[in-house]
């Protein structure tokens, strides 16, 4: 497990260095039926947060419910609904075939939506 986490960290650090994003958005740990799987995902999430912190990037964290609500309009949406809405919102010819890719894009869309809203809010609150 430690070796895999190290490789994940190295890969994320390379991606962050190559593409130089301005922010990282990540899904919060969810309650999985399988505790072991949830723990493994929590470890990977921790590595992702570490890579973002080392790169000096702010992190937006969103629950699965928030992501689905932002993308589909319904927090209990099914995976294929998320895939379809991601394709629609991004103007893709077809939905992403990978559920993981669709989820990652949905988190990015959720963050963009929240960031835009927060930006408008702070502008309207400024004197």
Tell me the pLDDT tens digit for each residue of 39-68: 898 999 999 999 999 999 999 999 999 999
- By CB neighbour count within 10 A (0-12 exposed, 13-18 middle, 19+ buried), where does 88 fall? exposed
Q: Using CA atoms, how far apart are residues 115 and 126, in angstroms rounded to an integer? A: 16
CATH code, residues 64-127: 3.30.420.10
Domains 1-62 and 64-127 agree in fold? yes
Q: Report residue 117's pLDDT band, with 50, 70 and 90 as the boundaries.
A: low
List the domain boundaries for the chain: 1-62, 64-127
Structure tokens at 29: 């740990």
**Does 1-62 carry CATH code 3.40.50.2300?**
no
Q: Name the 3-class secondary structure at 67.
A: helix
When pLDDT is cut at 50, 70 and 90, the band that residue 121 belongs to is very low
């Amino acid at each position: 497990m430690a070796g895999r986490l190290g490789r994940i960290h190295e890969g994320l650090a390379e991606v962050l260095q190559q593409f130089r994003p301005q922010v990282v958005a990540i899904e919060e740990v969810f309650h999985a039926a399988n505790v072991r799987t949830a723990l493994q995902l929590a470890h990977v999430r921790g590595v992702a947060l570490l890579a973002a912190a080392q790169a000096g990037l702010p992190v937006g964290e969103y629950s699965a419910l928030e992501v689905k609500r932002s993308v589909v309009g319904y927090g209990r949406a099914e995976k294929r609904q998320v895939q379809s809405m991601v394709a629609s919102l991004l103007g893709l010819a077809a939905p992403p075939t990978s559920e993981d890719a669709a989820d990652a894009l949905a988190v990015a869309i959720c963050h963009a939506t929240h960031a835009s809203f927060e930006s408008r809010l702070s502008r309207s609150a400024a004197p």
